[in-house]
Chains A and B, each alone.
Chain A
């Protein structure tokens, strides 16, 4: 160990402000970059799941509207929502 005690380590012969500013800034920048990369991966996965649920809903709505004729009403869309969540559940079990 080069330094005699902890306070002289912090002081850095009077250059503590500059040394710790440099190291702190470097650590912070790398940490922010890592967090951004890590959490955007999670965000992408949730986006994919949302998109998938939306696709399923559209598909369900389309099949329902063909059975019930051309006119789609508000009541049908809630039914589509239910079938979409049902499909999501089965998807979850498949994996």
Chain B
């Protein structure tokens, strides 16, 4: 009896945990991202070479950093789901995928808008740019593979394998600027020695990365709840929740 009940109790608990965390992530994320963006756009000094165009860094870098972190998180979730057969882990994986795809898309678009005035081209088949585009396709692959299966446990397994295989792209993205002759410059903050930026430019950048992470976290919590609701839509606790939300 307990063994039969256990998995259902777990998803219900996860749902309520998400519900409790959601307002914190949403509110904090919104405040931090707005403050950081305003700081970066209007208060940080301009760059000696790129003048005001460098301000694109305050969306480009956070989205690029988040794209890699979200992919790692998604692959880890897929791995846990595959090895320990945890149902909620696959749900987390598929909740993360669209968020990752969106931030990867943003990083590519902002990169193009930055490259046009500075480098002189919207797009170049450069190692860094190409590997980031491959990351976007990997996110698409995971999402569409998951959708291709009717049985969601099987879908999770297939998408999980793809997510894990794609992890090989992450070090390629990171080291592409060192391994190849790229148009893209080297890392500014993600290196072991001192970042190549003074504090008054660095602080809004770090803050905006935090803001993007919090907002992604909030969206993840929402999507995780949605996955749970979709999977457990016949459980009494879900029906009770639906009735409650209808009344509000």
Contacts and interface: CB of A to CB of B under 8 A. Distances in A.
Direct contact of A and B (CB under 8 A): yes
Interface in A24-55: 25-26, 29-30, 32-34, 36-38, 40-42, 44-49, 51-52
A70 B110 CA distance: 67
B88 to A, nearest CB: 17
A18 to B, nearest CB: 5
B244 A95 contact: yes
A41 B242 CA distance: 10
A23 B51 contact: no
Contacts of A92: 243, 246-247
A93 to B, nearest CB: 10
Interface residues of A, number: 37
Given A2-B42, A2-B46, A30 B102 contact: yes
B243 A95 contact: yes
B105 interface: yes
B132 interface: no
A87 B218 CA distance: 37
> Which of B42, B59, B223 has most A Cβ within 10 Å?
B59
B186 interface: no
Contact of A26 (B59, B114, B219, B238): B59
Contacts of A33: 98-99, 102, 219
Contacts of A2: 42-46
A44 B233 contact: yes
Interface string B63-90: 1000000000000000000000000000
A23 to B, nearest CB: 6
B59 A22 contact: yes
B157 interface: no
Interface residues of B, number: 48
Contacts of B37: 23
A15 B49 CA distance: 13
Interface stretch (B177-185, B188-196, B224-232): B224-232
A91 interface: yes
Contacts of B53: 12-13, 15, 18-19
Interface string B235-248: 00011111111110
Contact of A47 (B60, B225, B233, B243): B233
Contacts of A37: 219, 222-223, 226
A21 interface: yes
B94 to A, nearest CB: 13
A68 interface: no
B210 interface: no
B43 A1 contact: yes
B52 A21 contact: no
Contact of B226 (A29, A41, A46, A51): A41
Given A13-B53, A29-B106, A51 B117 contact: no
Given A2-B42, A29-B102, A95-B243, 17 more contacts: A1-B42, A1-B43, A2-B43, A2-B45, A13-B51, A18-B116, A19-B52, A19-B113, A23-B56, A29-B103, A33-B99, A33-B102, A37-B223, A44-B233, A45-B246, A48-B242, A52-B242
